[in-house]
Amino acid sequence: MATFKILVIDDEQGIRDGTRRILQNFKVDYPFMDEHIEFEILEAATGSEGIEIIDTQQPDILLLDNKLPDIQGVEVLEYVKNKHYDIIVVMITSYASLELAVKATRDGAIDFIPKPFTPQEIRASIENITKQLFLKRMTQSLNSTGKQIRFQFLSVLSHELKAPLNAIDGYLHMIREKQFGNNVDAYTEILDRSMERIKGMRQLILDLLDLTKIESGKPTQKLQQVDVRQIVQMAIDTNRPYAIQKDVDIYLNNKQPVMMKADAGEIEIIMNNLISNAVKYNRTGGRVDCFIEKLPEAIIISVSDTGIGLSEEDTQKIFDDFVRIKSQETRNITGSGLGLSIVKKIVDMYKGSVNVQSTLGKGTTFTITLPAPED
């Protein structure tokens, strides 16, 4: 159980007591944390008292009022900044004072809580900050032990997870408030959108599981002789129902077994991603062609579609994490933006290569080359 210290600097006894009441039994957990985080509340009624506590007790989070009897809140903020303390500062302020907000933000304040605040507001803010601080500390500790942590990745991830939640939350509120009166169709539409967003989130989580598998390293890899053709066929079968729905035909050129030493699960992840993309971004009545070819030293697998295609510029970035190509054609298609980045990572593990050739409006071909020396 970790505990973060929160120091409340405010001359109003009521604010200090209220904050203590709201936060003392509050717990934050996070998918990335193994444990809860609890809070210990410290109090100061003046700026100088606050600074003394900052120096002696090293709080993690500062809730700072700007109007203090002795010095201004922003001066406390400056003090923290100059001392390079690792403290997250939240200003408690009347919502109106934008100028102060701008100045405080420049000096490193990370959030603002309007005064008077509701328990929900302060909890939400503390929850966000706790997660942020947790990630930051985790990054620091992992970096110091020589491990690389993808802080940026986690940041974007939390954004990607939050966007659908916000959308669904918004829709649920609209339903609860019966915003469309008795117009049943309107509710059906926003329920459909909510379900679409849930679907997207589920896909993101599945992709994350795949990523975790890859990034956890080699030990889980089960290298053995596998029939690549059979795996491709399996991936085709997996995507068949979706393809039928979209009236897209999927073909496989090769009927003979193509053996190579690989982890069947990993090859399946590659093929699933490529084939589901080929269906997803296809036109109605389009087709997907899978080719497998065995060369003396390598296996070549390609997946071609007759879909919307990619611009030259887009083909450069599609293998990065969380990249999704946005256009009129893709606006209603959900995706995590992780699929191709996963493909690339696996292919790299096999010291292979992945190429893409595409024409806008015509279609795209992904070609994967995996080294497969004859035993």
Whichever of 163 and 223 has its CB closer to other proteins, that residue is 163
Query: Torsions phi, psi of 60, nearest 5?
Result: -90, -35
Helices and strands (H and E) in the chain: how many: 11, 12
Among residues 19, 66, 93, 125, which is the contact residue for other proteins, using CB under 8 A?
125
Residue 331 in contact with other proteins, rule: CB under 8 A = yes
- Rounded Cα distance between 63 and 80, Å, is 13
Q: Tokens 């904050």 appear where?
A: 19
Task: Give the per-residue contact string, 85-124, with other proteins (x = CB under 8 A; - = no).
Answer: ----------x--x---x--xx-x-xx--x---------x
Contact 281, 360 (CB under 8 A): no
Residue 319 in contact with other proteins, rule: CB under 8 A = no
Candidate ranges 35-43, 68-76, 148-156, 239-247; the one touching other proteins (CB under 8 A): 148-156
Ranges within 287-306 binding other proteins (CB under 8 A): none
Residue 171 in contact with other proteins, rule: CB under 8 A = yes
- Rounded Cα distance between 158 and 161, Å, is 5
Candidate ranges 40-48, 74-82, 154-162, 338-346; the one touching other proteins (CB under 8 A): 154-162
Q: Tokens 């256009």 appear where?
A: 327
- Rounded Cα distance between 80 and 50, Å, is 11
Contact 154, 32 (CB under 8 A): yes
Residue 128 in contact with other proteins, rule: CB under 8 A = yes
CB of 155 to other proteins, least distance (A): 4
Whichever of 124 and 264 has its CB closer to other proteins, that residue is 124
Whichever of 162 and 362 has its CB closer to other proteins, that residue is 162
Of 171, 374, 368, the closest CA to residue 259 belongs to 374
CB of 37 to other proteins, least distance (A): 15
- Rounded Cα distance between 282 and 47, Å, is 63
Candidate ranges 45-53, 161-169, 205-213, 258-266; the one touching other proteins (CB under 8 A): 161-169
- Rounded Cα distance between 126 and 63, Å, is 10
- Mapped onto helix, strand or coil, the DSSP state of residue 28 is strand
Among residues 21, 27, 83, 136, which is the contact residue for other proteins, using CB under 8 A?
136
Residue 166 in contact with other proteins, rule: CB under 8 A = yes
Residue 31 in contact with other proteins, rule: CB under 8 A = no
Among residues 84, 185, 332, 373, which is the contact residue for other proteins, using CB under 8 A?
332
- The answer for residues whose C-beta is within 8 angstroms of residue 282's C-beta and 6 or more apart is 246, 248, 288, 305, 306, 307, 308
CB of 78 to other proteins, least distance (A): 14
CB of 168 to other proteins, least distance (A): 8
Whats the size of the chain, residue-wise? 375
Angle among Cα 354, 245, 231 to the nearest 5 degrees reads 40
Among residues 91, 100, 135, 308, which is the contact residue for other proteins, using CB under 8 A?
135
Among residues 46, 72, 97, 158, which is the contact residue for other proteins, using CB under 8 A?
158
Residue 315 in contact with other proteins, rule: CB under 8 A = no
Residues β-bridged to residue 3: 38
CB of 82 to other proteins, least distance (A): 16
Element (H, E) at 287: strand 287-294
How would you label 131-159 residue by residue, b for 16+ Cβ within 10 Å and e otherwise? bebbbeeebeeeeeeeeeeeeeeeeebbe
Q: Under the rule (CB under 8 A), what is the footprint of other proteins?
A: 95, 98, 102, 105-106, 108, 110-111, 114, 124-125, 128-129, 131-132, 135-136, 151, 155-156, 158-159, 162-163, 166-167, 170-171, 174, 179, 190, 193, 197, 326, 331-332
